[in-house]
Structure 1
Amino acid sequence: MGSNDRYPVPAQLRFMLLWFKEWSEMQRGDFLPILAQKFSPPGSVNGVVAGMEGINCHQGDRPPSLFQCRVKLFGDWVTGWSQADKDQFLTGLKEMDPQFIEKYEAGFHLIASGQSKKDGEEENLNLPQTTVPQEVESEEYLGEVV
């Protein structure tokens, strides 16, 4: 039984919105390019999440972070979502964090329209750099055991 079969789509959407609500700004920033990749038409996001593709639930002898496993579940689940499900998810995100959705929409619009750097101008989407959490020294990391 795959992870798409275990929970119906409405439950998947509720889980993702609940988890997003718990995530720190850094985690939300790491999720932004993943969301853009998963919600964009194939081929329209050129390498945006190259750094995130290496995220899996196995990092040598360290257990995966809760965030990493939730992002993996999102990747598995979203393949079974309809456009209406995706729109519902984006609406829920917008209600929780309008600035996050503004960044998503700004980045997605530029990527989808094919705009890139113009005449040596730096492209600034205000998209945070993706990071794979190595060590966490703050208790603010949602109480994960690291």
Structure 2
Amino acid sequence: MESNIINSTLREINCVIHWFQTWSRFQKEQFMADLVSKAMPNKVELLLGAINNMNVVDKPPNIFECQLRLFNQWFEQWSLNERNFMLERLESFDPVFVAEFYTQIQQTANVS
């Protein structure tokens, strides 16, 4: 699969994996919510949750917020194969996180 990923995207995925390894549990939970909302974009509940989590603050973003912004920009440009490859790489570092991601996707898909 890696041979199908262009070098710039591979570098971006490697950055995300590196950042992930340095994030706190709370930051990983925020990242999880972001991933689930990307995987299930048409779910109103997720949209409302994302809106509720938004904070308007008069301070510059912290490093984690900047990392998430970059991730979001990159993710939008990635193909489905590249997105799946990122999840495969993430799973090799934290299989419990990725299993929880799939569980949340399944639970979200079952919500009517």
**TM-score, with normalisation over the residues of structure 1?**
0.63
Match of 1:120 in 2: none
Q: Retained in 1: the 8 A contact 2:32–2:101?
A: yes
Structure 1 runs, 4 residues or longer, greater than 3 Å off? none
The AA in structure 2 aligned to 1:51 is N
1:42-85, CA deviations, whole angstroms, 9 ceiling, x for partnerless residues?
Answer: 30363243334x26xx831x221100010111111111111111
Q: Retained in 2: the 8 A contact 1:17–1:93?
A: yes
The AA in structure 2 aligned to 1:10 is L
* 1:90 aligns to 2:87 (yes or no): yes
Secondary structure of 1:51's match?
helix
- Higher share in helix: 2
Query: Aligned partners of 2:44 and 2:8: how far apart in 1?
Result: 28
Match of 1:38 in 2: 38
Q: Retained in 1: the 8 A contact 2:9–2:78?
A: yes
**Structure 2 CA distance for partners of 1:34 and 1:43, relative to 1, 3 Å:** same
* Structure 1 position 32, deviation (Å): 0.6
Secondary structure of 2:57's match?
coil
The runs of 5 or more residues in structure 1 that have no matched partner are 1-6, 117-146
The runs of 5 or more residues in structure 2 that have no matched partner are 1-6
Q: Aligned ranges for residues 19-38 of structure 1 at < 5 Å? A: 19-38=19-38
- Greater relative CO, 1 or 2 (CA 8 Å, sep 6+): 2
**Structure 2 CA distance for partners of 1:70 and 1:90, relative to 1, 3 Å:** same
Q: Retained in 2: the 8 A contact 1:36–1:108?
A: yes
Q: Aligned ranges for residues 40-59 of structure 1 at < 5 Å? A: 40=40, 42-44=41-43, 46-47=45-46, 48-52=49-53, 54=54, 59=57
Q: Retained in 2: the 8 A contact 1:93–1:101?
A: yes
What percent identity do the matched residue pairs reach? 25
Count of residue pairs brought into register by the alignment: 104
